[in-house]
Amino acid sequence: MSIEVQNIRKTFGSFTALDGVSLTVGAGELVALLGPSGSGKTTLLRIIAGLEQSDPGSGPILFHDEDVGGRRIGDRAVGFVFQHYALFRHMTVFDNVAFGLRVRPRKSRPSDALIRHKVDQLLQLVQLDTFATRYPHQLSGGQRQRVALARALAIEPKVLLLDEPFGALDAKVRQELRRWLRRLHDEIHVTSVFVTHDQEEALELADRVVVMNEGRIEQIGAPDEVFHHPATEFVMNFLGQVNLFGGRVEEGKIHFSTVAFDAPEHAQLQNQPVKVFIRPHEFEVGEFTDGQTCIRATISRINSAGPNVRLLLMAETGESLSVELPQERFRQLKLQAGSQVYLTPRGLKVFGDDYVI
């Protein structure tokens, strides 16, 4: 079932949480709402769920072209998974998962045998079938979150909404659960929206990523697209590390630090200040200068634990830079703290006040 929201506004007192947000999620899609805290992503999710009401004057909330804006959460057929699991701690795992079926009105309530069958199936799906008689406090965080997921799926939701589902877990468990959720989604294909502030999680898990900031959507796109072609300065900044230079465009060239690059498409601009962003892995590190396009810098710190070596450097023009290079290249260059290197940007992203190169 598809989800469509139009022009959603929400204010809490004088704070604007959502400032006219519109979004469409296709049937069977897995979409991430990504943004820093206070960006409105959780509020948007809660409005879609029906846990929060949008301000008057907002557009409709459509599930499969049907306006559900006036319905209570229980009548929207959404499965909601909370960051802190929100399990009923006086109930066993089995009773937790069965809850949504048992509270149905007598007419539509399945028989006990059917409930048992269904819950067993769901527990198998989340790989917790041997834990049915345990209480939530006897489970690990990852297991609890899987119970919460099974419980949400028990009501056969048309839409699955997850509010920072892995936010309270260890890094290692988080990664495992992330892959597992992706596999699960490929199996059951329920339209899903999840909220996260972890860009890695959003990029790895989602079909499409919605980057939000200060109550607005900055960009919507496939992970590849938002990472490699950020629409705004904010998206560039938020999705991974960047090095920032203040520069200017003049006579078809971009000048920053000690280098200049051709920008023929902006030949008409004269003396325009711009911001230049370069990701750490988009520098070529060399021992010798190759003339015009190098930035001379001194290594102040080396961190070689990891697949890549990360260098912290001080450019001769005073910027502090962070650069990533492969281990082999690092060993080849025999770099040490204090060595001087020449950095050649391979790719850069330029943002002016109102345009992007």
Residues in the site for another protein, rule: CB under 8 A?
A: 49, 51, 72-75, 78-80, 82, 84, 86, 88-90, 99-100, 103-104, 135-137, 148, 151-152, 154-155
CB of 44 to another protein, least distance (A): 16
What is the four-CA torsion angle of 24, 33, 194, 188, rounded to 10 degrees?
40
In whole angstroms, the minimum distance from the beta carbon of 110 to another protein comes to 13
By the 8 A CB rule, do 9 and 19 touch?
yes
CA distance 220 to 239: 13
Rounded to a whole number of angstroms, the minimum distance from the CB of residue 98 to another protein is: 10
Contact between 91 and 99 (Cβ < 8 Å): yes
CB neighbour list of residue 7: distance below 8 Å, 6 or more residues apart: 20, 21, 22, 58, 59
**Cα-based distances in Å from 355 to 231, 269, 329, 350:** 10, 11, 36, 9
Instruction: Compare residues 193 and 325 and give the one whose CB is closer to another protein.
Output: 193
Q: Which residues contact 273 (CB under 8 A, 6 or more apart)?
A: 246, 247, 248, 352, 353
CB nearer to another protein: pick between 155 and 315: 155
Taking a C-beta distance cutoff of 8 angstroms, is the pair 77, 158 a contact? yes
The strand order across the sheet containing 191-196 reads 78-81, 159-163, 191-196, 30-34, 208-213, 216-221
Give me the least distance between CB of 82 and another protein, in Å please. 5
Which residue's CB is nearer to another protein, number 155 or number 314? Answer: 155
Nearer to another protein among residue 64 and residue 84 (C-beta): 84
Q: Which is nearer to another protein, 99 or 225 (CB)?
A: 99
Query: From the CB of 309, what's the least distance to another protein, in Å?
Result: 42
Residue 318 exposed, middle or buried by CB count within 10 Å (0-12, 13-18, 19+): exposed
Question: Could you tell me the smallest distance in angstroms from the CB atom of residue 169 to another protein?
Answer: 15
Residue 148 or residue 259: which is nearer to another protein going by CB? 148
Q: Which is nearer to another protein, 151 or 266 (CB)?
A: 151
What is the C-alpha separation between 3 and 317, in angstroms, rounded? Answer: 50
Cα 307 from chain centre: 22
Closest distance to another protein from the beta carbon of 171 (Å): 22
Least Å distance, CB 86 to another protein, is: 4
Nearer to another protein, 154 or 209 (CB): 154
C-alpha–C-alpha distance, residues 235 and 226, integer Å: 7
The answer to whether 269 and 66 are in contact (CB under 8 A) is no
| Rounded-to-integer distance, Cα 118 and Cα 155, Å | 10
Strands, DSSP E only, in 13-92? 15-25, 30-34, 61-63, 66-67, 78-81
Q: Which is nearer to another protein, 96 or 219 (CB)?
A: 96
Closest separation between CB of residue 81 and another protein, Å?
9
